[in-house]
Structure 1
Amino acid sequence: MRVLVLGGAGEIGRAAARLLAAEVDQLVIADLSADAAGAVAEQLGPTAVARPIDVADHDRLVALARDCDIVVNTVGPFFRFGPGILAAVIEAGRDYVDVCDDPAPTATMLDLHERAAAAGITAVIGMGASPGVANLLASKAVSLLDRTESLVTGWNLLMAQPQQRGWRPSAAIVHGIEQVSMPIPVIRGGALTRELPLRRTTIDYPGIGPGVGWTFGHPEPVTLARTFPDLADCVNVALAPRYAVASLSALGSAVRAGLVSRERAATLAAAAEHVLPSSPLAALDHGCLPPLFAVATGTLDGAAATIGCALGQFPGLTMAEATGIPLAVGALLRPDRPGVHPPEAVYDPDEFFHRLAPYCLGNPRPESMVVVTNSQWTQAVNNAALDSGSLVTALLRSRAR
């Protein structure tokens, strides 16, 4: 298999490429910087080659994509580049997977479903950590209930820090400012609506108890409601220290009021990022909820039940690894279902987590990848189930007491 990685010299692209280089016949590292792409290809060995690309050059992108079997896209922010790149890949007639974390381009790309299906290609959008792993945790939780009424997906802001910090805003920061400065999509009362972001949300996590998150503009409510149409409520939340939420809220309000531009707000956010803890392990010290999780509420065996599914093992301690490695696993699984889909519509969660396990820290047992808790369990059964050797086991056990 020949794989094209767009943005292959960026942090997420490099993380995905390192895994793919050992698994595919040839890897094409494509980036705006020819020198950076060449340096990455040289590090990865003989299976990797470098190609310069400006993703805004439609014809060049189509030609480059046609020379590969699947395109792995990490170029952000996706509200600028996502739909155009996917349109070019569909024209090239090649499969596609990306890490789109913006709801607006997610909806636009989903509208390309019929065009992709007619071309016979499968495109998976949002296969990172959140969205991506979070969607598959949600899918797992839904499968454990007879009926699901509400879903919450959550991720910890302290685990979303870039590997290299700088004073210039990264694509992730530009994305973040976009999502805290405009109304975001949520499911309320069975309908897709929009509301201001960073709304305080209490999650009653089974086996842990109440924890607080803040609504954030990620695509999970958009796609999960399409995959599970009976949902009454669905939100995505970020877990973060209060001072970080206050800063983001102030920047978002200033943008909405026209006091600063989104570009200026992103620059200020890049500077403020330096006050956040630099170690993602600090996520375990800032809040009682797991770093990446989904909670589904509904009924099981005729009684009310809440299922929590937390990622128990991690593919690394950086945002790049937590996003790029699941992306690469998604590319290797390469589902055959023509059209444009979110992860939960094409991947079986058990198979995905089994395939992800060898690339996680410590080569964990596949059965420890997801920690499942159920509000119907007794405390004794709950504590026994938590003893699974996962990285979040200690957190869950300590909060359950």
Structure 2
Amino acid sequence: MSTSDRTWDVIVIGAGGSQAQAMLAASARGGDVSRWLAVDRAWRPETKATTEALGMTTTALDVLTSPQELRELLGSGRLVANLAGPYYRTGTVVLDAAIETGTDYLDICDDADVILPMFERTEAAEKAEVRALIGMGSSPGTTNVLIRAAVDYLGSAEDVDISWTVDVNDMTDAAARHFWHCFNIVDPDGTIHPAPSWEQLERKTVTFPGTVGTQEVIRLAHPEPITAPRFLPVTRCSNFGAITPIESLVVAWSLAFSVDAQRPRPDLAEVTDHAIDVFRTYRETRPATPRIGSGMQIDIHTDGNGLRFSAGADTEMAEATGVPAAAGIVLLLDGQTPNAGVFSPETLVPADFFTALRKVSRGGGGLELHRLVNGEQTERIRIRDLLSQTAATPA
């Protein structure tokens, strides 16, 4: 289905959010964005001005309350980038509208419970010749591509173990809501579990590079444990994460447990809004401590033998998420993805992704790659050498 004659190259939903703003700035670094339309429910004046200064047109729309207007809007674009969470509310709504209008789709969906419902749209997307790339942020997103690169190199892997941390100063209201949602573990078959008690949390200790250092992380719901075994020769995938410092994790867990959607109550929405207010107040009034930054570690292995990616840096979460999304848009516009259907970043050619990432990135990042032997980190490997040996066509 040809969409080359449509008004807009890219329509960005939720364009006023912090991660979307980072994506827009990255996209403007990488090329012409004059045929981009930035959409938000309620623009802040300064954000609207910043977006228009990049050369984009802005408009206002609430995608959850205006379904017909959403479809009319998407019908005027080649690609819609949905950066409006939470995705358990917006994901299938915008994806369905994209499929109906024959518009390619991208999001940064990090809510595990909506991943399987989105994959259920695969046949409809294929019939409509729509390419839908979901979870194209940092984690999920870059993590998935790194797993693909490692598996291409190794041939297969029994286990993938993902660990990450986020600095409390990066926890916007939207990020806090998502983090709380992650306490509801989602099984591969879609079963959703209640938030565990503090004693029931599965914990482990991970040492990240740089300023992040050694941190305790807990098992959380995320898309990668569902998508990695779906698209790659991987048997199991786990996800552990945390907010640093540890006191912030305790505060976040206690509020998440108190407003767990799996223990419904009539006033849940109102109580959750109040809990967000409490967390925001905590974040803004807590005693100042040195910024820790964000950390990531991915072990791809069989019986402890394989590869380990690791990073630890002062990169803000919005930048870490927005820039890979901009790279994903480059790949979709250039046709460097599977032809049609709903797919996650494991299907991208790693070398193509990192080429696109260089077009939109400020540079840096501090990603390291080491060989893993009997569970221990050993010799360092150049990432360019790994990428040179990965597959040359999409999975």
| Equivalent in 204, 218, 221 of residue 217 of structure 1 | 221
Distance in structure 2 (CA, Å) of the matches to 1:325 and 1:311: 16
Instruction: Confirm or deny that 1:323 pairs with 2:321.
Output: yes
Q: Give the letter for the 2:218 counterpart.
A: W
- The alpha carbon displacement at 1:68 in A equals 1.3
TM-score, L = length of structure 1: 0.77
- The alpha carbon displacement at 1:95 in A equals 0.6
Q: State the SS of the aligned residue for 2:222.
A: coil
Instruction: Confirm or deny that 1:172 pairs with 2:175.
Output: yes
Distance in structure 2 (CA, Å) of the matches to 1:114 and 1:202: 39
TM-score, L = length of structure 2: 0.78
| Equivalent in 51, 57, 68 of residue 59 of structure 2 | 51
Q: State the SS of the aligned residue for 2:320.
A: helix
The answer to whether the Cα contact below 8 Å between 1:144 and 1:307 also exists between their aligned partners in 2 is no
Percent pairwise identity = 26
Per the alignment, residue 150 of structure 1 pairs with: 159
The answer to whether the Cα contact below 8 Å between 2:156 and 2:233 also exists between their aligned partners in 1 is no
- The alpha carbon displacement at 1:173 in A equals 1.8
Distance in structure 2 (CA, Å) of the matches to 1:152 and 1:98: 23
Alignment of 1:196-235 (within 5 A): 196=195, 199-202=201-204, 212-228=216-232, 230-235=234-239
Distance in structure 2 (CA, Å) of the matches to 1:387 and 1:87: 37
Alignment of 1:6-21 (within 5 A): 6-21=13-28
The answer to whether the Cα contact below 8 Å between 2:27 and 2:360 also exists between their aligned partners in 1 is no
Per the alignment, residue 111 of structure 2 pairs with: 102
Deviations 1:339-380 (A, max 9, x none): 1111112x122321233235444x35xxx8642111239x99
Deviations 1:145-203 (A, max 9, x none): 343111122221217715xx6xxxx22222222233xx31256xxx8765545833336
Distance in structure 2 (CA, Å) of the matches to 1:4 and 1:12: 15
Per the alignment, residue 5 of structure 2 pairs with: none
Q: Give the letter for the 1:52 counterpart.
A: A
Per the alignment, residue 354 of structure 2 pairs with: 353
- The alpha carbon displacement at 1:386 in A equals 8.1
Farther-moved stretch of structure 1 (331-340 vs 221-230) = 221-230
Per the alignment, residue 4 of structure 1 pairs with: 11
The answer to whether the Cα contact below 8 Å between 1:205 and 1:308 also exists between their aligned partners in 2 is no
The answer to whether the Cα contact below 8 Å between 2:371 and 2:381 also exists between their aligned partners in 1 is no
The answer to whether the Cα contact below 8 Å between 1:19 and 1:325 also exists between their aligned partners in 2 is yes
- The alpha carbon displacement at 1:214 in A equals 1.0
Alignment of 1:95-134 (within 5 A): 95-134=104-143
Per the alignment, residue 344 of structure 2 pairs with: 342
Per the alignment, residue 330 of structure 2 pairs with: 332
Distance in structure 1 (CA, Å) of the matches to 2:232 and 2:117: 19
Gaps of 5+ in 2: 1-7, 385-395
Deviations 1:247-267 (A, max 9, x none): 222223323467973333222
The answer to whether the Cα contact below 8 Å between 1:137 and 1:293 also exists between their aligned partners in 2 is no
Distance in structure 1 (CA, Å) of the matches to 2:13 and 2:53: 17
Q: In angstroms, what is the RMSD of aligned CA positions?
A: 3.6
The answer to whether the Cα contact below 8 Å between 1:281 and 1:317 also exists between their aligned partners in 2 is no
Distance in structure 2 (CA, Å) of the matches to 1:138 and 1:275: 39
Distance in structure 1 (CA, Å) of the matches to 2:144 and 2:50: 30
Distance in structure 1 (CA, Å) of the matches to 2:121 and 2:96: 8
The answer to whether the Cα contact below 8 Å between 2:163 and 2:217 also exists between their aligned partners in 1 is yes
Deviations 1:220-242 (A, max 9, x none): 11211212364134334336332
Q: State the SS of the aligned residue for 1:101.
A: coil
Instruction: Confirm or deny that 1:374 pairs with 2:383.
Output: no
Per the alignment, residue 87 of structure 1 pairs with: 96
Distance in structure 1 (CA, Å) of the matches to 2:251 and 2:243: 14
Q: 1:360 to 1:265 in 2, by over 3 A?
A: same
Q: State the SS of the aligned residue for 2:235.
A: coil
Q: 1:193 to 1:381 in 2, by over 3 A?
A: same
Q: 1:380 to 1:217 in 2, by over 3 A?
A: closer
Per the alignment, residue 52 of structure 2 pairs with: 42
**How many residues get paired?**
357
Per the alignment, residue 395 of structure 1 pairs with: none
Distance in structure 2 (CA, Å) of the matches to 1:353 and 1:105: 27
Q: 1:246 to 1:41 in 2, by over 3 A?
A: closer
Distance in structure 1 (CA, Å) of the matches to 2:305 and 2:378: 15
Instruction: Confirm or deny that 1:268 pairs with 2:278.
Output: yes
Q: 1:206 to 1:62 in 2, by over 3 A?
A: closer
Deviations 1:69-127 (A, max 9, x none): 11111111111111101111111101110111111122211111111111001001111
Instruction: Confirm or deny that 1:282 pairs with 2:292.
Output: yes
Distance in structure 1 (CA, Å) of the matches to 2:290 and 2:150: 25
Per the alignment, residue 247 of structure 2 pairs with: 243
